[in-house]
Amino acid sequence: MVKSVIWAAALVVLMVFFVGCSDSPAPFSPVPTGESIIEGYWVGQGDVTGGNMASVGQRFDLTMTVSQVGNGVTGTVMDENGSVFDLAGTVKGQSLTFTLTQDKPCAGTFTGSATAMNGDTKIIGDYSGNGCRGSITAEFKTALREQGKQLKVNETTRVQK
């Protein structure tokens, strides 16, 4: 019995030694531990809650394609009317803060926050800002459709393919 315990202990020490002395680098983790991973293709709906750009209560469909490196996110958001917004933000825990920037059909800047939920398969949040058509405040709910899918946009017409 004592010999088997000594052999087991020796085996554990050898395993720790060889793993610790390996020439292989430690696995790279692009997302800090505890941070949500929101990279992927998202589909959802928004509801206008204020402003003069659209009627309060108006519902709209949207898609998002998000890339994530560490806690930084970038991507593209497109609404059902074909408006395209560049997304830049930061993930901290399950919280996302972001800025949406629109150049076409006219300039606008919007800021918002959201929460990743349900094992990072849903994002719920809100945003507000101003564009050339006025101001808007809206809330949105999206669900992950596909991890890593890329949104393809024709840059001359800004239409999703």
Predicted pLDDT of residue 30: 52
CA distances from 52 to 33, 110, 132, 136, 142 (A): 41, 14, 11, 6, 24
Report CA torsion sign: 144, 148, 149, 150.
positive
Taking residue 41's Cβ as centre, other Cβ atoms within 10 Å add up to: 18
User: What are the tokens at 7?
Assistant: 């052999």
Instruction: CATH number of the domain at 125, please.
Output: 2.40.128.120
Q: Is the pLDDT of residue 152 over 70?
A: no
Residue 92 counted as domain residue: yes
Count of the separate structural domains present in the chain: 1
Give per-residue pLDDT as tens, 69-104. 999 999 999 999 888 999 999 999 999 999 999 988
Residue 117 counted as domain residue: yes
Residue 10 counted as domain residue: no
Residue 26 counted as domain residue: no
Predicted pLDDT of residue 138: 97
Residue 28 counted as domain residue: no
Residue 6 counted as domain residue: no
Give per-residue pLDDT as tens, 13-28. 333 333 344 444 444 4
In terms of residue numbers, what domain contains 79?
40-153
Single-letter amino acid, residue 82: G
Report, as an integer, the average pLDDT of 146-156. Answer: 50
Between 66 and 152, the more confident residue is 66
Give per-residue pLDDT as tens, 99-120. 999 988 789 999 999 999 998 9
What integer best gives the mean pLDDT of the chain? 79
Residue 4 counted as domain residue: no
Residue 118 counted as domain residue: yes
Predicted pLDDT of residue 100: 97
Where does the pLDDT of residue 5 fall: very low under 50, low under 70, confident under 90, or very high at 90 and above?
A: very low
